[in-house]
Amino acid sequence: MASTIDIQRTVDQDSARIVAEALERLEPFGVLLSDRQAVEAYLAANVDLAPILEGLCASARNAFGPRVELSLELYKDREQDDEYPTLYVRKDEYEPGILEQLESIMSPFHDQLAQSSGNILVTTDYRRPRGNHGV
């Protein structure tokens, strides 16, 4: 009979594997991970979000093309004591309507996100790309 510790270790290993595989599937989309460990930790605690990431990143890359920077970062709101992964879309120039474009990327995933244990946001911080982006 397996002990509680053995079961938890197996669950943790399964979560780590799922998260690692999900992050590997982002490579074709040229997604930057500035603090991979923080993102991995959040996703391991909310493993049901991991499969949603690929679709979000694919949609963002498809909508904005290869010249934008996609950066997956863990946003930390210190006032609300809240944190969640955020996919930032960074462009050289921002045209009117970008917020509507970002919402159109998120919209197909609203139902999945509503049923998940955590949250993911696709947005922009209106910063310029850092130079290494695209596919």
Report whether 57 contacts 70 (CB < 8 A): yes
pLDDT of residue 69: 97
Residue 130 has pLDDT above 90, yes or no: no
Q: Which residue has the higher pLDDT, 24 or 132?
A: 24
Residue 24 lies in a domain: yes
Q: Which domain holds residue 109?
A: 4-123
Q: pLDDT tens-digit profile of 47-91?
A: 999 989 999 999 999 999 999 999 999 998 888 888 999 999 999
Query: Does residue 135 belong to any structural domain of this protein?
Result: no
Hey, how many other C-beta atoms are within 10 angstroms of the C-beta on 130? 11
In a domain? residue 43: yes
User: Which pairing describes strands 82-90 and 69-77: parallel, antiparallel, or unpaired?
Assistant: antiparallel
- Residue 50 belongs to a domain: yes
User: For a pLDDT cut of 90, what percent of the chain falls above it?
Assistant: 75
Q: Which residue has the tokens 């509680």?
A: 4
Note the pLDDT of residue 134: 52
The pLDDT score that the predictor gives to residue 133 is 53
Q: What is the pLDDT of residue 131?
A: 65
The domain total for the chain is: 1
The CATH number that applies at residue 101 is 1.10.8
Segment 110-123 mean pLDDT: 94
Task: Report yes or no on 90 lying in a domain.
Answer: yes
Residue 131 located in a structural domain: no
Would you say residue 132 lies in a domain?
A: no
- Classify residue 72: in a domain, yes or no: yes
